[in-house]
Structure 1
Amino acid sequence: MIGRLLFLLALCLPLWGQAQHPRMMYGDTSRVGVPYSKDPHVVNFKGRYLMYHSIPPKKGDEASGWNIGIAESKDLVNWTKAGEITPAPGADYEKKGLCAPGALVKDGQVHLFYQTYGNGKNDAICHAVSDDGVHFKRNPTNPIFHPSGDWTCGRAIDAEVCEFKGRYFLYFATRDKDYDIQMQGVAVAPANTGFNREDWTQAADSSILYPVYPWEGKCIEGASIAKKDGKLFMFYAGAYNNAPQQIGVAESEDGIVWKRLSKEPFLRNGKPGEWNSSESGHPHLFTDLDGRTYLFYQGNNDNGKTWYITQEEVFWKDGKPYLK
């Protein structure tokens, strides 16, 4: 009898471990009938986690454009759809689409920063605010930011906004004049900002992070920021989608000058046959209220026919992040 019990226990232990530590795999199926969610950003708001992410045009209705999906969770693993953000009536600037959300909680509200989509070089960053995290009111000064100068084509996408040393920093991806190389830029606003267009000043007339290593290809995008020990850490996506896109990390003491932590990716794409063999991309480094940090990112193994979002906890040692 004891031998049989030990045998059954040996069978159950691996399953118990999986139940306790399941891999999050989320993909919205409402738009195209298969899992398809990209560009995650998570906040802890009023007792639940909210994840904002990009969802594709509806199947058979390309004119519906890219929009923003909202999912909710109690445990960062199991997610259910909570809503969508579609073009607002009368907001012509976003009528072709909106996506790539970035969010922050400030004064009991969720502030959402997102890009317009479908306008090429004229795509820009917009802002909206919500009391419940699901229904948003647009900023009347939208779009609130696009870059200028000889170094950029003028496009701004993939917004990430954080407070640091008494100012708000807006990180964005843009392209060069030839619309070939994707790179990072930054703008700043004062601490008392309402995030209106007139509050933002471009903080550098050049790229603050430009692709240089082979794995970064021609693209650095999807910046996400964590604050640790008086520094900023930028988790970023290197290379265009499915090139494969992989995730790197850089650090900064002032929010403008950045230094990579490594010449190699922090998180690589998966091996052939794994769920993320085509890429591990577009990171979001979520810092929970208890200080623990989680890396959300997108991946697929079919060159973009489907897209899943997952997460894993990031740990820190000697001021540097690592994965177990």
Structure 2
Amino acid sequence: MMMYFADTTKGRPFSKDPAVVKFKGSYYMYYSINSPKEGKAGGIWGIGIAISDDLTHWRVAGEIYRELEYEANGFCAPGAIVKDGQIHLFYQTYGNGAKDAICHAVSEDGLHFCRNASNPIFSPTGEWNNGRAIDADVIRYHDKYYLYFATRDPKGEIQMLGAAFTEADSDFGRDSWVQACSEPILRPELPWEGKCIEAAAVCVKDQKVFMFYAGNYNNMPQQIGCAVSRDGIHFRRISDFPFLTNGEPGDWNSSESGHPFLFKDEDDRTYLFYQGNNDNGKTWYISKVEIGWQQGRPFIIRK
């Protein structure tokens, strides 16, 4: 059965930027929501929470509310991992232009989160970027945790990816992160990628890091590509074509298939979660496909 989820608590079907973990016997999904009734043009961004028993049927379970000054303009685009019996959430501030940065919070129950006292924990440096960091994804690779983020060129036009790392026993605080690149680790080069590569979604397979990423800005259409690395920093595309395309006219995802997240279950089955819509972004839904592996390369398992 196809997964087709949208949070309707804000008055319209709207769920973007999924992140999924298995925690205490259930699946937790964190995603971006938008509240259009708070008196601000474009609404205020926040993070919703849904829970599932089977990865297909989801029920809205809560919301993470703004608490501190750096969250005042909104926050979104969560990434999530489970470490030492806790859920660690990595998310971005929103509405601050080039000053948007990555933050961190931790939860004992998956619903209530305690912010890292050093937030925001990361923003990039160097003349190759404008200092912005969004779309965090974190993964354990060898003896370190790698943080992948999207940023823009100094003019704020080209979206591209960067990386940082911290040690395995890290508290994920601001002083623990080391920027791992002095240039983009992946930037748009192919026609279908337009001026944007964002939303890195990574997993480790056969000692390699596979990165699924969103190419092009929303609804242009955004589609999903894939690249691979032997060191977690230097990536090469596995194809010049999208790994997962937008749908045909009339399909639920005809406007885009974008912003991926990789989830590996306890049985080693791997799922690619992603967002889509067919009305140029008036609504947003989240779905998933299962990923298989053949001769060291991923493919979509068609049901």
1:290 matches 2:284: no
Q: Does the 8 Å contact 1:159/1:170 carry over to 2?
A: yes
Report Cα offsets for 1:264-289 as digits up to 9, x if no partner.
00000001111100000000111111
Compute the displacement of 1:260 (Å): 0.4
1:28 matches 2:1: no
Compute the displacement of 1:145 (Å): 0.3
2:18 to 36, 40, 44: 40
2:167 to 181, 187, 190: 190
1:52 matches 2:27: no
Report Cα offsets for 1:124-144 as digits up to 9, x if no partner.
000000000110000000000
In the alignment, the residues of structure 2 paired with residue 58 and residue 87 of structure 1 have an alpha-carbon distance, to the nearest angstrom, of: 15
Matches within 5 A, 1:83-122: 83-88=62-67, 91-122=68-99
1:66 matches 2:45: yes
Question: Which consecutive residues of structure 2, in runs of 5 or more, have no partner in the other structure?
Answer: none
2:293 counterpart residue number: 316
Matches within 5 A, 1:227-306: 227-306=204-283
Compute the displacement of 1:60 (Å): 5.3
Q: Residue 289 of structure 2 aligns to which amino acid in structure 1?
A: E
Q: Residue 30 of structure 1 aligns to which amino acid in structure 2?
A: T
Please identify runs of 4+ aligned residues in structure 1 that moved more than 4 A: none
Compute the displacement of 1:262 (Å): 0.1
Report Cα offsets for 1:82-140 as digits up to 9, x if no partner.
1101111xx11111101000000000000000000000000000000000011000000
Q: Does the 8 Å contact 1:125/1:159 carry over to 2?
A: yes
SS at match of 2:175: helix
Q: Which has the higher strand share?
A: 2
SS at match of 1:56: strand
Compute the displacement of 1:62 (Å): 2.9
Max radius of gyration: which structure?
Answer: 1
In the alignment, the residues of structure 2 paired with residue 51 and residue 231 of structure 1 have an alpha-carbon distance, to the nearest angstrom, of: 26
Q: Residue 84 of structure 1 aligns to which amino acid in structure 2?
A: E
In the alignment, the residues of structure 1 paired with residue 117 and residue 37 of structure 2 have an alpha-carbon distance, to the nearest angstrom, of: 31
Q: Does the 8 Å contact 1:227/1:233 carry over to 2?
A: yes
Report Cα offsets for 1:223-249 as digits up to 9, x if no partner.
011110101100100000000000000
In the alignment, the residues of structure 2 paired with residue 277 and residue 34 of structure 1 have an alpha-carbon distance, to the nearest angstrom, of: 19
SS at match of 1:145: coil
In the alignment, the residues of structure 2 paired with residue 87 and residue 320 of structure 1 have an alpha-carbon distance, to the nearest angstrom, of: 41
Q: Does the 8 Å contact 1:86/1:98 carry over to 2?
A: no
SS at match of 1:34: coil
In the alignment, the residues of structure 2 paired with residue 248 and residue 61 of structure 1 have an alpha-carbon distance, to the nearest angstrom, of: 37
Q: Residue 118 of structure 2 aligns to which amino acid in structure 1?
A: T
In the alignment, the residues of structure 2 paired with residue 59 and residue 287 of structure 1 have an alpha-carbon distance, to the nearest angstrom, of: 36
In the alignment, the residues of structure 2 paired with residue 283 and residue 242 of structure 1 have an alpha-carbon distance, to the nearest angstrom, of: 14
2:149 counterpart residue number: 172
1:75 to 51, 54, 61: 54
User: Which TM-score applies when normalising by structure 2?
Assistant: 0.98
User: Which TM-score applies when normalising by structure 1?
Assistant: 0.91
Q: Residue 264 of structure 1 aligns to which amino acid in structure 2?
A: F
Q: Residue 223 of structure 2 aligns to which amino acid in structure 1?
A: Q
Q: Which has the higher helix share?
A: 1
Task: Give RMSD over aligned pairs.
Answer: 0.9
In the alignment, the residues of structure 2 paired with residue 137 and residue 58 of structure 1 have an alpha-carbon distance, to the nearest angstrom, of: 26
